[in-house]
Each structure stands twice: as C-alpha cells, then as structure tokens.
C-alpha cells in the first residue's frame, strides 16, 4: 500500500495516555480504548513512544529487548488488538526504534562485560589513554562525559545519553542483522512505519578525533540549553553528516519501501541541511528538527526553514513532545499556531494533549524522576512536565479519567482549561486537520514566504494548482495588507490579544 508522505501524526507517550488497570501508568489496552477519539480528530497515524522492555531510567528510551512489550504496557496480544482497532479506524501505526543505544541491562551489554568479545563489538569499547583518562573529549548530549569506565573490561564504553544507555556500534554486522529482524517482526505484526530516535547521531569518526570548540554561531545552534557543556563543542566527529545520512538507506531496506519512516534530528547545527540529506530518495520520508519548537513556530523560524530547505515536504512540523515543554498557553495563541501548523506543508506531529491546549505543568523536585531534569534542577525547562498524564475529563476527583489508581506523576490540571480544551480546542483541531486534508495543504509547495516582525505571510500551491495565502500574526493584530475578501477560514478567538490567523484561496 502506498503510504501518505505527509501524514498528520498523533504522538502518544504511552505511560501517560490512558491507564486501564489502576496501576497509575498508561498501557496498551488504555490506548485501544481511546483510539476512537484520536481517529475522530482526523489524523492519519499514531506514533507510540517506546513500549519495549525497559528499566525506564530514560522514560523507555533505554531498551533491554526491542522485540517484546514491557509488562507495564501489556502483552503482544494487547498490541495486536490495538493495531487491529487502529487499522479498522483508518489509523496507521508507527513505532519508535531506538537503534543508537540499548539499556545497560541488555543481555548484549552484560555479555560484553562478562568477556564475550563478539558482543563487545556490538558497542564502542576503547582502552584508556596511558594516563587512564578517556580516549577523547566527546560529551554526552545530556552534558555528562560520554565515556564511562568499566573495571571488569578495564575499558571505557561510549554513551551519547545516560551512562545506562551504552551506544551501539551500528556498523557491526551482528547489530545490523538484529535490527533488520526486529523491524521485520514489527512489520509482520502490522506496523506501518517507524520513528527513528536520534537518527543523526548514529555514526562517528572511526579515528575518534577530539571535537573542536564551537564557534559562537555554532554554539547558538547546537540543540539544547547553553548551560549544557554539550553546546560548547562543534560535533563534527561524533555526528558524521555524510555517512550518517547514507545509513538511512539501510533503514529503508530493513523497514521496506512501503513503510513510512521519519527520524529525529538532534544536531541543532546544520539541522535543515541534514534533514534534506537524510530524506534523499531511498532514505527516510521525513526528519524533524528542533527549529520549530525552539522558536515556538515564530514567523522568523519558518522563513529561515523555508530558505534553508529544498522543500518543507520532508520536514515534519511539531511544537511539543515528551522532550520539549508544552508550547500551549491555554489561550488564543494556541489556536493561531494550530492553524499555522495545519497550513504548513509537510507532515505534522501533534503531541498528546496539545489538542486540548494543555499548558506546561510545574512539578515539585520530589515528584520528578527524569535524570536529565534532576541534573539541571531547577533550571529547565525539563522534560517530565510534558509527560504528566493527559486528562480525559475536567474532573480532578477521579484523576481526570486517566486512572483509577494513583497517577505516576501528579495531575494538577486546571479543570477550566481542560473543559475549554474539550469543548472548543479539540473541535478546532478537528476542523483545521480536516481543512489540511481536504485542500491538501500538506502536499503543497511554498510559493512565497515572508516574515514582517511578528507576522508570517505565506502562499502555497497544491498539487492540483490551487493557491492559498495564510497570514498569521503572533500578537501584532490583523495586518492591513490582508485580502479584502472573506477568508476560507480564520482563527477567531475571543481572547485574541493581537493573535490572528486566516487563510484565503487566491
């Protein structure tokens, strides 16, 4: 089946979506129960953050076994039931693939520590320098040193994230065979596509030279907070652009031509250029970069992305995720941004609860479990706030319908905001997702795109030669140069405070 190359994708963070058994943690039967509501929004697909066996040190991105479901989420039968219902409802199912690293609890890593040299080659082990220090200056993306000492092997192993997430050697044939088999296994179970975690970080310079310091203009562009020392380096040797992008041809071969494939780009620097390289023919369908959420979809960000890319078709748009703080403020700005995202050509990833305009919750330090948040506490923005379970009702007394037990994170949602979300924001999302589909804005090309301060003025042309002009004001009111005809659609919020968005057929 030919897949939709510019789908609207609903991201589910399963731990925080819907609990079915009172454990306080979301699970697969919970997702199945809520699929009608997702399908009703009109999206094309769901993407599930990892559901595999994991000690959950990094929220499920530390995987022991990619072939099996963690019991906290359910069973393979639960998974099959979820896929069957999604397909009945016309939703495609995309799974996360975290190929860059495993959990340190993985049998491969444990065998490597125990002296199995074949398994050691699955990872990156290096001898210390003669003075006992690590092989080079590489840092983890979280800011810790990237090399960790193992006294049994008397070697360092490399990790781009937490010490509990040793990096895989993705050039190793044994690793490649295992990845191909696990992806085929999920495809055979009906999975339609994959999201590849940190796809731009897969390969590194084999000589392992030190990264040079980042020049100021590079430092500003390295994704993440600049109190993280990772931003002090120019990552030319630990993230290989040329070979790295070509590796996506393996992913395509293993997943199949008919799978929808998209990847996460954590490079920051050269983000759009890398997205273009990773999505050449025979590679991924799309890549998403941190430009949009870091700029909260500002006019200048969008013009910059348009100018630096060949097309937006291959860059997935998004504003919030399980890693970024929720972008919503619970006011009119969210509606204008939703309309702008619907109008932007290319795939669109909607994070669970964004369709209710949920603002970023604040958590007390004692409630937080994410090691990254704790590392930089209280400076943030942190990741766990965005993982607070989603509310299904405005009623706080039953944990907003999320669980009959104790939610794994406190749910201090404001009932009025949730009610506004259910009554008005979700129908608004349904409407703009429908307009996007009916007019094929996602498949269009950008003809003109200008930012005038806080105003974005963009004209697109669809595959059937229809032209649309979208004007989006981020707080500066309706500009004078809008067409004087009635727009096809306008975001007309009561509490606008200068936010305005409208689309005309021109």
Which of residues 161 and 472 has its CB atom nearest to ligand NOJ in the complex? 161
Judged by CB, which is closer to ligand NOJ: 59, or 443? 59
- Report yes or no: 361 and 413 within 8 Å, Cβ to Cβ: yes
**Nearer CB in complex with ligand NOJ: 27/197:** 197
Binding flag, residue 238, ligand NOJ (CB under 6 A): no
Task: Kindly state whether residue 428 participates in binding ligand NOJ, applying the rule CB under 6 A.
Answer: no
Segment contacting ligand NOJ by CB under 6 A, of 53-61, 170-178, 334-342, 447-455: 53-61
- Output helix, strand, coil percentages for the chain, rounded to the nearest 5: 30, 20, 50
Phi, psi of 31 (to 5 degrees): -60, -45
147-150 β-sheet, strand order:
125-126, 155-158, 147-150
Q: Which residue, 291 or 323, has its beta carbon nearer to ligand NOJ?
A: 323
* 150 SS3 class: strand
The answer to whether 18 and 82 are in contact (CB under 8 A) is no
Choose the stretch contacting ligand NOJ; rule: CB under 6 A; options: 19-27, 58-66, 121-129, 400-408: 58-66
What is the Cβ-side half-sphere exposure of residue 214, based on CA atoms within 13 angstroms?
22
User: How far apart, in Å, do the first and last CA atoms of the chain sit?
Assistant: 34
Determine the interface stretch with ligand NOJ among 23-31, 56-64, 110-118, 167-175 (rule: CB under 6 A): 56-64
**Nearest approach, Cβ of residue 49 and ligand NOJ (Å):** 7
Confirm or reject binding of residue 198 to ligand NOJ (CB under 6 A): yes
According to DSSP, the β-strands at 348-351 and 455-461 are unpaired
Does 334 sit near ligand NOJ (CB under 6 A)? no
> Which structure tokens are listed for 410?
């406190």
User: Quick one: which segment of 55-63, 105-113, 335-343, 470-478 binds ligand NOJ (CB under 6 A)?
Assistant: 55-63
- Closest Cα partner for 380 from 398, 354, 362? 362
Site string for ligand NOJ, 107-146 (x = CB under 6 A): ----------------------------------------
Examine residue 230 and tell whether it contacts ligand NOJ (CB under 6 A): no
CB of 201: closest distance to ligand NOJ in angstroms?
9
Residue ranges in 156-185 that form contacts with ligand NOJ under rule CB under 6 A: 161
Smallest distance from ligand NOJ to CB 323, Å = 5
Note whether 61 binds ligand NOJ by CB under 6 A: yes
The secondary structure of 177-209, three-state, reads: HHHHHHHHHHHHCCCCEEEECCHHHCCCCCCCC
Q: Is 506 within 8 Å of 483 (Cβ atoms)?
A: yes
Of all residues in the shown chain, the one whose CB is closest to ligand NOJ is: 61
- If one asks whether residue 323 binds ligand NOJ (CB under 6 A), the answer comes out as yes
CB of 61 to ligand NOJ, least distance (A): 3
Residue 428 gets which letter from DSSP?
A: H
The least CB distance from residue 280 to ligand NOJ, in Å, is 23
Note the Cα 288 to chain centre separation in Å: 7
Asked if residues 113 and 204 have their Cβ atoms less than 8 Å apart, the reply is no
Identity of the residue, 14 or 345, whose beta carbon is nearer to ligand NOJ in the bound complex: 14
Per CB under 6 A, the list member of 27, 78, 104, 197 interacting with ligand NOJ is 197
CB atoms inside a 10 Å sphere around CB 208: 15
Nearer to ligand NOJ, 197 or 285 (CB): 197
CB of 150 to ligand NOJ, least distance (A): 20
Say how far apart CA 381 and CA 171 lie, in whole Å: 35
Using DSSP, state whether 423 is helix, strand or coil. helix
Give 99 or 444: the residue with its C-beta nearer to ligand NOJ.
99
Q: How far is CA 280 from each of CA 107, 269, 276, 309, 369, rounded to the nearest angstrom?
A: 35, 19, 7, 12, 39
Among 21-29, 57-65, 113-121, 123-131, which window interacts with ligand NOJ (CB under 6 A)? 57-65
From the CB of residue 140, how many other CB atoms can be counted at a distance below 10 Å?
22
**Residue 122 CB, nearest approach to ligand NOJ (Å):** 17
Give the total of residues touching ligand NOJ (CB under 6 A): 10
Residue linked to tokens 């309309």: 339
3 state DSSP class of 232: helix
Answer yes or no whether residue 413 interacts with ligand NOJ by CB under 6 A: no
φ, ψ of residue 332 in degrees (nearest 5): -60, -30
User: Which pair of tokens denotes residue 331?
Assistant: 């006011």
Pick one of 19, 27, 44, 58: the residue that binds ligand NOJ (CB under 6 A).
58
Q: How far is CA 220 from the centre of its chain?
A: 21
223 sits in the region (left: phi over 0; alpha: psi -120 to 50; else beta) called beta
Report the site for ligand NOJ in 264-293 (rule: CB under 6 A). Answer: 264
Q: How far is the CB of 221 from ligand NOJ (least distance, A)?
A: 18
Interface with ligand NOJ includes 98 (CB under 6 A)?
yes
Cβ at position 98, least distance to ligand NOJ in Å: 5
Residues 240-269 binding ligand NOJ (CB under 6 A) are 264
Rule CB under 6 A: which residues touch ligand NOJ? 58-59, 61, 98, 161, 197-198, 264, 322-323
């Amino acid at each position: 089946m030919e897949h939709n190359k510019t789908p609207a994708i609903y991201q589910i963070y399963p731990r925080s979506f819907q609990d079915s058994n009172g454990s306080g943690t979301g699970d697969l039967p919970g997702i199945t129960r809520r699929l009608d509501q997702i399908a009703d929004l009109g999206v094309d697909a769901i993407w599930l953050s990892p559901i595999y066996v994991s000690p959950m040190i990094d929220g499920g991105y530390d995987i022991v076994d990619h072939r099996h479901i963690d019991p906290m989420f359910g069973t393979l039968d639960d998974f099959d039931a979820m896929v069957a219902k999604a397909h009945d409802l016309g939703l495609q199912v995309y799974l996360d693939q975290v190929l860059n690293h495993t959990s340190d609890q993985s049998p491969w890593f444990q065998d490597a520590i125990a002296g199995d040299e074949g398994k050691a080659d699955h990872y990156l082990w290096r001898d210390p320098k003669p003075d006992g220090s690590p092989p080079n200056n590489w840092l983890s993306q979280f800011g810790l040193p990237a090399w960790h000492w193992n006294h049994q092997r008397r070697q360092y192993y490399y990790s781009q994230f937490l010490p509990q997430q040793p990096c895989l050697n993705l050039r190793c044939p044994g690793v490649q065979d295992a990845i191909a088999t696990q992806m085929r296994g999920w495809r055979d179970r009906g999975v339609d596509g994959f999201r590849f975690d940190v796809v731009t970080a897969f390969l590194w310079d084999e000589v392992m030279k030190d990264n040079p310091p980042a020049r100021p203009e590079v430092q500003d562009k390295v994704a993440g907070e600049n109190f993280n020392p990772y931003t002090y380096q120019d990552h030319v040797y630990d993230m290989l652009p040329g070979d790295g992008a070509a590796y996506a041809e393996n992913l395509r071969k293993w997943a199949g031509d008919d799978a929808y494939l998209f990847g996460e780009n954590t490079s920051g620097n050269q983000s759009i250029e890398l997205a273009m390289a990773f999505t050449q023919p025979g590679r991924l369908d799309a890549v998403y970069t941190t430009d949009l959420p870091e700029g909260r979809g500002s006019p200048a960000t969008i013009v910059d992305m348009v100018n630096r890319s060949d097309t937006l078709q291959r860059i997935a748009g998004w504003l919030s995720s399980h890693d970024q703080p929720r972008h919503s403020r619970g006011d009119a700005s969210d509606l204008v941004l939703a309309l702008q995202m619907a109008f932007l050509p290319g795939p669109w990833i909607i994070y669970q609860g964004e369709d209710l305009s949920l603002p970023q919750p604040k958590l007390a330090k004692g409630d937080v479990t994410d090691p990254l948040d704790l590392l930089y506490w209280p400076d943030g923005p942190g990741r766990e706030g965005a993982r607070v379970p989603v509310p299904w009702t405005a009623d706080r007394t039953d944990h907003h319908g999320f669980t009959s037990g104790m939610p794994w994170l406190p749910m201090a949602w404001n009932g009025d905001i949730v009610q506004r979300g259910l009554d008005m924001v979700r129908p608004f999302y349904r409407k703009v997702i429908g307009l996007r589909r009916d007019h094929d804005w996602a498949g269009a090309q950008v003809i003109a795109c200008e930012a005038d301060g806080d105003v974005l003025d963009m004209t697109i042309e669809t595959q059937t030669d229809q032209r649309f002009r979208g004007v989006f004001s981020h707080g500066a009111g309706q500009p004078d140069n809008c067409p004087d005809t009635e727009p096809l659609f306008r975001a007309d919020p009561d509490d606008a405070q200068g936010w305005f968005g409208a689309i005309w057929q021109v």
